[in-house]
Amino acid sequence: MASTPYSLGQTLLKIDNVCLEYDGRPVLKNVNAEVRKIIVPGRVQGQVVGILGPSGCGKTTLFRIIAGLMPPTSGRVSVNSFDRPVKAGEVGVVAQSYPLFEHRTVFGNMMLGAQQKEKDAKVARDKVMALLREFGLEDKFNLYPAQLSGGQRQRCAIIQQILCSEHFLLMDEPFSGLDLLMLEKTCELIAKVADMDDLNTIIVVTHDVTAACSVADHLWVMGRDSDASGNKLPGSRIVQEYNLIERDLCWHPNIITTPQFTSFVRELKEEFRRL
């Protein structure tokens, strides 16, 4: 039972019966889910969804469909209650390598993002500098990506996508290869970005169960159904959804040190073994 009062508002992102086939073979089959606005009285609260699943279950394929980079065979993904499929650019994408243009400065990279939305150069510049200040990068604006640390580069890639796509951000394996300190900082950064606006929605695709549980308010677990003999059927879908708010497993300091968090992570890992 949630100890923090909250309610759910409008649907911000909807995955409606998405299917994908390659050469007649199902890859994704009847994928359905939605992200709804989380309303917490007295504070700004964004949304963080973790997409989990074993290797080869279609997480990356679903990632690309949500981003508008790949059309499904049938079904659709829509955002902001638009009565149409999502378009490329409406959902920001932060790839695992944090790609930036190496020949442009930090400021130049950020302006490329800002000018996708703002045609007025001064407005775009003001937005860029405000976000650089917010993320502690104001003094790095004239550096090139090669001069940044991994954490600084990650923040720049996130800022760039916020500037061009506003409220939606997809992150591909943001915890991969990080030491414990950087992993903790990345979780803090994701929470910070989500809570900048109550419409902000961060979707994290990862195989790191513990990290996903520590930062998300909802989890979508992908897998494949089995036949009567226990054989896995073609085509993955979201086989389980978890509301971590109702389980009282988010929005609390040091939640990852609690027995209930440890028990939930153990339960989830056991489920993975059956997928």
Do residues 16 and 83 lie in contact, with contact meaning Cβ atoms separated by under 8 Å? no
The pLDDT, as a whole number, for residue 1 is: 79
Q: pLDDT over 90 for what percent of the chain?
A: 64
Least confident piece of the model among 67-76, 129-138, 157-166: 157-166
pLDDT for position 77: 97
**How large is the average pLDDT for residues 235-253?**
94
The span from the CA of 240 to the CA of 219, in Å, is 8
Q: Are 159 and 190 in contact (CB under 8 A)?
A: no
CA-based nearest residue to 240, from 2, 8, 33? 33
Of the candidates 156, 118, 123, the residue with the CA atom closest to the CA atom of residue 139: 156
Q: What is the pLDDT of residue 213?
A: 95
Q: CA 239, CA 220: separation in Å to the nearest integer?
A: 8
| Mean of pLDDT values over 216-223 | 96
pTM confidence score = 0.91
State the residue for tokens 């606006």: 197
* pLDDT band for position 226 (cuts 50, 70, 90): confident
CATH architecture classification, 7-274:
3-Layer(aba) Sandwich (3.40)
pLDDT given for residue 240 in this prediction: 94
Q: Distances in Å between the alpha carbon of 271 and those of 61, 185, 240, 249?
A: 22, 28, 10, 18
- Strand, helix or coil at 98? coil
pLDDT band (50, 70, 90) for residue 24: confident
The per-residue pLDDT for 117 is 82
Q: What is the pLDDT of residue 246?
A: 96
Q: 39 pLDDT exceeds 90?
A: yes
b/e sequence 49-88, b meaning 16+ C-beta within 10 Å:
bbbbbeeebbbebbbbbbbbeeebeebbbbbeeeeebbee
Contact 47, 12 (CB under 8 A): yes
Residue 264 has phi, psi (to 5 degrees) of: -65, -45
39 beta partners: 7
Average pLDDT over residues 266-274: 86
pLDDT at 177 over 80: no
pLDDT at 6 over 90: yes
| pLDDT band, residue 164 (cuts 50/70/90) | confident
Residue 54 reports pLDDT greater than 80: yes
- E-strand ranges in the chain read 7-22, 25-39, 47-52, 74-79, 92-94, 168-172, 201-205, 218-226, 232-243
